[in-house]
Amino acid sequence: MAKSPETEHPLKAFGWASRDTSGFFSPFKFSRRATGEHDVQFKVLYCGVCHSDLHMAKNEWGFSQYPLVPGHEIVGEVTEVGSKVEKFKVGDKVGVGCLVGSCRQCDQCTNDLENYCDKQILTYSAPYTDGTITYGGYSNLMVADEHFVIRWPENLPLDIGAPLLCAGITTYSPLRYYGLDKPGLNVGIVGLGGLGHVAVKFAKAFGTKVTVISTSINKKKEAIEQLGADSFLVSRDPEEMKAAAGTLDGIIDTVSASHPLLPLISLLKPHGKIVVVGAPEKPLELPVFPIIIGRKVIGGSAIGGIKETQEMIDFAAKHNILPDVEIIPIDYINTAMDRLLKSDVKYRFVIDIAKSLKPE
Amino acid sequence: MAGTENSQKSFGWAATDTSGLLFPFHFSRRENGSDDVTIKILYCGVCHSDLHSVKNEWGFTNYPIVPGHEIVGLVTKTGSDVKTFKVGDRVGVGVIVGSCKTCDICQQDLENYCPKVIFTYNSKDQDGTKTYGGYSDIIVVDQRFVLRIPDNLSSGACAPLLCAGITVYSPMKYYGMTEPGKHLGVAGLGGLGHVAVKFGKAFGLKVTVISTSPKKESEAINRLGADSFLVSSDPAQLKAAMGTMDFIIDTIAAVHPLAPLLGLLKMNGKLVTVGLPDKPLELPIFPLVLGRKLVGGSDIGGMKETQEMLDFCGKHNIIADIEMIRIDYINTAFERLAKSDVRYRFVIDVANTLASN
């Protein structure tokens, strides 16, 4: 007999879920598995609101499983550990990001690239190894395999730091992989939202010179004065774009809406790279001549492996890299999603789960 | 026509309009300067770029145009500052004959990416005159842009290496396609593609040819040494090969879909495009992001690397597969080239068939 979300596991849990493509959230009772020998159980303190949560809540990517409890920027405190767990103990502060499982044996997994494993298991709305569907961090309690749990450094704030678990690794990983982390390089960041603003902070911490590229002049003051960007380009201004042609070693493109690549390609020096981390649904136009004549590269990147995520969190703690957040109670989530849709947030909402999520 | 600076008479075949038809053409070359080498041309390869150029398909042809940038010949004169070549040496000239030589890019031996690069034909030379290419009897070139041909390679079959060879060798090195055991896909089996297969095997890679024509399979495997062959218009074959290739060299010059090629790549795989379609391609983003894949370009190579490539060919006995033709066959050759009807490069026997009237 099919079990309900409330009864499929032994531990009672509650959260807020979206139940259909309207993406509207409401309280939801479900359950978590018992702590297995490799599992870490923790009470959720904070959870960041990622734009992916909004896409998934509305089934915009076509694979959402309802009821859907999103949230993959989760920070909490350990309440129980399995008998074979070595890295964590009760009371530890921990984080969980976008993944809670992978095959652990393929080439990707053995190279600490679980995020590129064919059998990766997403933190929410994905089939787990026990056949149940995963529920994310808009909830009071999580149980996760120790391998996918991140140690939270003592000096890193739990609330403000939460978005690093997705936005942070999503921008840190490509800056490293594509070699855009060398002091003195000129790096462009396209789009100044959740991903973009953290990308600016990491790029500055790597010693690069950062140019923010945005459609809107309104963000200029903040980009330069608050985020520390060195310069700002309005992509819709042909004069500014022309003056900056051939000046950038690399660009991190965080924009998920469809947009032209050619103006960005023109900003690159020869041998320059554009890394796309936003994911427009439709193909973009690739003008071939400029990438051949200049030996330029367009690549992608998706989050990062667990080892690198830990490295990124430790790096952020060491260099005091913190996202800019707006803390909200769980019952604000529907309004928050409306505002997120209009990019009306500087630059990530974080749900104060511990204080605001109460069972009915 | 320029005055006394161009004082060596020259004769070749040129196109004068967008029909792209070539006819005999008299012109002149500069006097041999202190850094120059004058070369009697023996052979010249017929590159697909020559065809695009004579028809002005890229929009920047300046008629009359004498194409040809896969040149092999013999040195007949050397300037007073030329120490590395002597009269009688067998040499090659490729796609470029000049650059600024002083910028950062040139100093890194990447003359091909210099903003002031001068192409072997249809370009403005340092003295303001137009450059004319290898479908002609002689050429005068700055020694920095002249290459030594390894003794064991036959001149005619070596000529295509000067463009086709370096065009695939350079990205294979730059994008790390030289690790033995890795799997390389070569999309398109023409002038560029067939050389890429040979280099791939010489690097110890497993090579799969990706082509729309099943007819090329036997040749790809039995003659060129490819390990396997994939008909890209067959969805079942494509599906079976998904996620199996570390790299793909895409030599296809026409507009074509990238999505199936990206699907063939493993995670972190790289697709390098060296063909030059005249319109943009469609680039699906999801596969790049979810698989950390990349699409990159590459454009011939610098002089140092071109010499390195030739020496590599000498060591591994790599030459192009050619069909030797007379100069007066060139218009027919272009028609056949447009239909990919050549295995795999035409080479003009200049010395024996180009006669001044």
**Chain B nearest C-alpha distance from A255 (Å):** 12
Whether the CB of A280 is below 8 Å from some CB of chain B: the reply is yes
Contact predicate A117/A108, CB 8 Å: yes
Q: Which residues of B touch A291 (CB under 8 A)?
A: 273, 295-297
CA dihedral of residues A181, A182, A184, A188 (deg, nearest 10): -30
pLDDT, tens digit only, all 360 positions of chain A: 568 999 999 999 999 999 999 999 999 999 999 999 999 999 999 999 999 999 999 999 899 999 999 999 999 999 999 999 999 999 999 999 999 999 999 999 999 999 999 999 999 999 999 999 999 999 999 999 999 999 999 999 999 999 999 999 999 999 999 999 999 999 999 999 999 999 999 999 999 999 999 998 999 999 999 999 999 999 999 999 999 999 999 999 999 888 899 999 999 999 999 999 987 878 999 999 999 999 999 999 999 999 999 999 999 999 999 999 999 999 999 999 999 999 899 999 999 999 999 886
Q: Which residues of A touch B299 (CB under 8 A)?
A: 292-295
How confident is the model over B64-93, as pLDDT tens digits? Answer: 999 999 999 999 999 999 999 999 999 999
Helices (H) and strands (E) in chain A, counts: 12, 18
Same fold: A11-166+304-356 with A169-300 = no
Whether the CB of A303 is below 8 Å from some CB of chain B: the reply is no
Q: Given an 8 Å threshold on Cβ–Cβ distance, is A295 in contact with B288? A: no
Q: Distance (Å, rounded) from C-alpha B211 to C-alpha A291?
A: 23
Contact predicate A294/A133, CB 8 Å: no
DSSP, res A206: T
Angle between helices B303-316 and B191-202 (to 10 degrees): 70
Q: Distance (Å, rounded) from C-alpha A332 to C-alpha A351?
A: 9
Domain A169-300 sits in CATH at 3.40.50.720
Predicted complex ipTM = 0.90
Residue among A285, A292, A302 minimizing CB distance to B290:
A302
DSSP, res A226: I
**Does pLDDT of B357 surpass 70?**
no
Q: Given an 8 Å threshold on Cβ–Cβ distance, is A276 in contact with B289? A: yes
Element housing B167 (H / E): helix B164-174
Q: Residue B276 has what pLDDT?
A: 84
Residue among B113, B287, B297 minimizing CB distance to A291:
B297
Domain A11-166+304-356 sits in CATH at 3.90.180.10
Mutate to test the interface with B, among A265, A268, A288, A303 (most CBs of B within 10 A): A288
**Chain A nearest C-alpha distance from B255 (Å):** 10
Q: Distance (Å, rounded) from C-alpha A277 to C-alpha B307?
A: 39
User: Half-sphere exposure (CA, 13 Å, Cβ side) for A299?
Assistant: 29
Nearest chain A residue to B277, by CA: A288
A282 forms bridges with which residues in the sheet?
none
Chain A and chain B share a number of CB contacts under 8 A equal to 105
Q: Distance (Å, rounded) from C-alpha B44 to C-alpha B47?
A: 9
Question: Which DSSP string do the residues of A2-56 spell out, in sequence order?
Answer: PPPTTTSSSEEEEEEEE-STT--EEEEEEEE----TTEEEEEEEEEEE-HHHHHH
Q: Which residues of B touch A268 (CB under 8 A)?
A: none
Identify the residue whose tokens are 């060195």. Answer: A230
Q: Residue B356 has what pLDDT?
A: 66
Q: Which residues of B touch A292 (CB under 8 A)?
A: 273-274, 276, 297-299
Nearest Cα neighbor of B266 from A106, A238, A337 is: A106
Q: What phi, psi does B53 have (nearest 5°)? A: -70, -45
Q: Which residues of B touch A116 (CB under 8 A)?
A: 267-268, 291-292
Q: Residue A117 has what pLDDT?
A: 95
Q: Given an 8 Å threshold on Cβ–Cβ distance, is A287 in contact with B259? A: no
**Does pLDDT of B1 surpass 80?**
no
Q: Given an 8 Å threshold on Cβ–Cβ distance, is A283 in contact with B283? A: yes
Angle between helices A306-319 and A167-177 (to 10 degrees): 100
Q: Distance (Å, rounded) from C-alpha A156 to C-alpha A164?
A: 11
What residue ranges do the domains of chain A occupy? 11-166+304-356, 169-300
Mutate to test the interface with A, among B58, B292, B295, B300 (most CBs of A within 10 A): B292
In this structure, are strands B183-187 and B345-349 parallel, antiparallel, or unpaired? unpaired
A298, B135, B166, B247, B264 from B176: Cα distances, Å: 16, 35, 15, 9, 18
Q: Which residues of A touch B111 (CB under 8 A)?
A: none
Structure tokens at B21: 């038809």
Cis-peptide, bond into residue B160, ω within 30° of zero: no
Identify the residue whose tokens are 């034909």. Answer: B121
Q: Distance (Å, rounded) from C-alpha A258 to C-alpha A155?
A: 39
Q: Given an 8 Å threshold on Cβ–Cβ distance, is A292 in contact with B297? A: yes
